[in-house]
Amino acid sequence: MKSRISGWGLNNFSYTNLITFEKTNKRNYQLFNSGSNFIPRGLGRSYGDAAQLTGGDTVLSGDTTGYILDEENGILNVSAGADFDFLIRELVPRGWFLPVVPGTRYITVGGAIAADIHGKNHHRDGSFGNFIYSFELLTPNGKISCSAFDNTELFFATIGGMGLTGLILSAKIELIKIETSLIKGEIIKFKNINDLLIGFKDYDEKYKYSVAWVDLLAKGNSLGRGILSLGNHAKTSDLNSKSASDIFYYRANQKISIPFYLPTGTLNSLTTNIFNKLWYLKDKKQSKKLFSIPSFFHPLDGIKNWNKIYGKQGFLQYQFVVPDTRSEFLIEVIKKCSNQKIPIFLAVLKKMGASNGGLLSFGKPGWTLTLDIPMRTPNLENFLNDLDEDVVANEGRIYLAKDSLLNPTKFNAMYSNSEKFRALRTKGSFNNFIQSDLSRRLSI
């Protein structure tokens, strides 16, 4: 019997066969001989339909804890099914950290490579793909090893390739050494978007991690006001006597859970406006403090099933990046959201740095804005279609791991390597075996 699954946005469900891949089970190597198309899936944290295949097979990893840590060189050899929550718990007490972490720790290593995830340090360090030495990939031609020097074309197609170039079995990752498990942070409030953009430029040089929450319902002189969160890994000299007693103390729990879908309409302009006002007021104008890793990187992970607050209709996350020179467009988008009173309580702005060689990798130098939008928002389809066209016109692109709506024409316009990627899929016969609802929608 088929299972009903969706992305994190809960906006497009799919009936699929869920199967678990076990490396030791030889029958599973017949993934490419089963007669059915398949797509790998991690923990289902893509917001759209990238990790599901309607009517086909969706493949989960059976190995979620296998790893070998080379502490001398800071290299982690890890199963693709291991998730960041598990790895951070294992690594931090030993003085290591993952080089890039996104806004949730509930993603697998395979998913992180496939989406070429980025984090608060993209402006300095780039995305996850930059820290991959190599990975093992299961393809129609068997198991092969890929790196920047070996099967290079496939290596760069797989990074950001949304799982469409094979099943990632394991990866070798470069870690970063940390002195403590805390983040030395600074929180700064900015009265409007113009000040916030300047704030990024002033502070990004000093901090490894930076991201801003933006109030998209603020108007007039407060348009785009926000809170910039900055951080560096704390050194032992930064700790107070209490935190110095256990410098690698790490604890991450899900404190509360949303057990059922909230009524559709709970998040509306009024409730969102109230939330945004309170959230903006909660911090001082400028403050410095020590943060735990979960509170700095993954505050939403403290609430299990937080996506259910959007109700049964769900939501979508729209994330785009535009070049530095297009900050005016960014302000126009913020103005539009404010004028149309779109109930977005979670809007995140970040400066991005250099791109890597991933054919479908999202990150590139410029500004990225992420919007969580309830599906019940009136006239949402037209709003998003117009926004897509504006993003294309401003040399930008949408993040495929968040995408729910692009069509092939817009995708081709946003990703200059789209045809190269398609050609590779055809050449390697990947398209005969590996499909997802996303790849069908975008004709990849």
Partner 1 sequence: MIDIFGKPQNVLVLGGSSEIAIEVLRAFNITNRIMNLYLAGRDLPRLNQLADEFRSENTNCEVIHADHDESSFRLIEHIENIEIDIAIMASGYLPPQDQQFKPDEVKKVINRNLLAVAEVGSVVIEKFINQNFGVLIIFSSVAAMRPRPDNFLYGASKAGLDNWARGAMFKLKNTGAKVLLVRTGMVDTRMSRHLERAPMTVDKKFVANKIVKNIKGTNQILWIPLKIKFLVFFLKIIPNKLLNYVVK
Is residue 422 a contact residue for partner 1 (CB under 8 A)?
A: no
Q: Give the C-alpha separation, 262 to 17, whole Å.
A: 28
Q: Is 11 in the site for partner 1 (CB under 8 A)?
A: yes
415, two tokens? 């990703």
Query: Does residue 4 touch partner 1 according to CB under 8 A?
Result: yes
User: Is 441 a binder of partner 1 (CB under 8 A)?
Assistant: yes
In the list 357, 380, 390, 412, the residue contacting partner 1 (rule: CB under 8 A) is 380
Nearer to partner 1, 23 or 441 (CB): 441
Task: Provide the Cα torsion 43, 46, 48, 54; round to 10°.
Answer: -40
User: Is 248 within 8 Å of 293 (Cβ atoms)?
Assistant: no
- What is the Cα–Cα distance from 344 to 314, expressed in whole angstroms? 13
Between 4 and 143, name the residue whose CB sits nearer to partner 1: 4
Stretch that binds partner 1, among 135-143, 240-248, 253-261, 434-442 (CB under 8 A): 434-442
* Count of positions on this chain that bind partner 1 (CB under 8 A): 25
If the CB atoms of residues 88 and 316 are measured against partner 1, the closer one turns out to be: 316
Q: Does 133 bind partner 1 (CB under 8 A)?
A: no
Interface with partner 1 includes 378 (CB under 8 A)? Answer: no
What span, in angstroms and rounded, lies between the C-alpha atoms of 66 and 202?
42
With respect to partner 1, which residue has the nearer C-beta, 86 or 399?
399
Distance CA 140, CA 164 (A): 12
DSSP symbol at 307: G
* Distance of alpha carbon 257 from alpha carbon 64, whole angstroms: 23
* Residue number, 37 or 147, with CB nearest to partner 1: 37
CA distance 263 to 40: 32
Out of 30, 257, 407, 429, the only residue in the binding site for partner 1 (CB under 8 A) is 407
Q: Which stretch binds partner 1 (CB under 8 A): 8-16, 35-43, 228-236, 327-335?
A: 8-16
Report helix, strand and coil shares of the chain as percent, to nearest 5: 30, 25, 40
Beta bridge mates, 286: 188
Which x/- pattern, by CB under 8 A, does the window 195-214 give for partner 1? Answer: --------------------
Pull the structure tokens for residue 279.
């959230």
Is residue 413 a contact residue for partner 1 (CB under 8 A)?
no
Shortest distance (Å) from residue 324 CB to partner 1: 31
351 close to 200: Cβ distance less than 8 angstroms: yes
* 114, 217, 369, 375: which one binds partner 1 (CB under 8 A): 375
In the range 48-107, which residues lie near partner 1 by CB under 8 A? 48, 54-55
CA 204, CA 396: separation in Å to the nearest integer?
A: 22
Integer angstrom CA distances of residue 375 from 123, 218, 318 = 31, 21, 11
Binding to partner 1 in span 285-314, by CB under 8 A:
313
Q: How do 209-214 and 347-352 pair as beta strands?
A: antiparallel
Q: Which is nearer to partner 1, 54 or 147 (CB)?
A: 54
Cβ atoms 405, 47 nearer than 8 A: no
148 is written with which tokens?
């920047």
Binding residue for partner 1, selected from 70, 381, 386, 419, defined by CB under 8 A: 381
Phi and psi angles of residue 268, each rounded to the nearest 5 degrees, phi first: -130, -175
Q: Which stretch binds partner 1 (CB under 8 A): 14-22, 129-137, 225-233, 276-284?
A: 14-22
Only segment of 108-116, 247-255, 342-350, 375-383 that touches partner 1 (CB under 8 A): 375-383
> In whole angstroms, how close is the CB of 444 to partner 1 at the nearest point?
13
How many angstroms separate the CA atoms of 295 and 309, rounded?
20
Of 28 and 54, the one with the shorter C-beta distance to partner 1 is: 54
Contact residues for partner 1, defined by CB under 8 A: 1-2, 4, 11-16, 48, 54-55, 313, 316, 375, 380-381, 404-405, 407-409, 437, 440-441
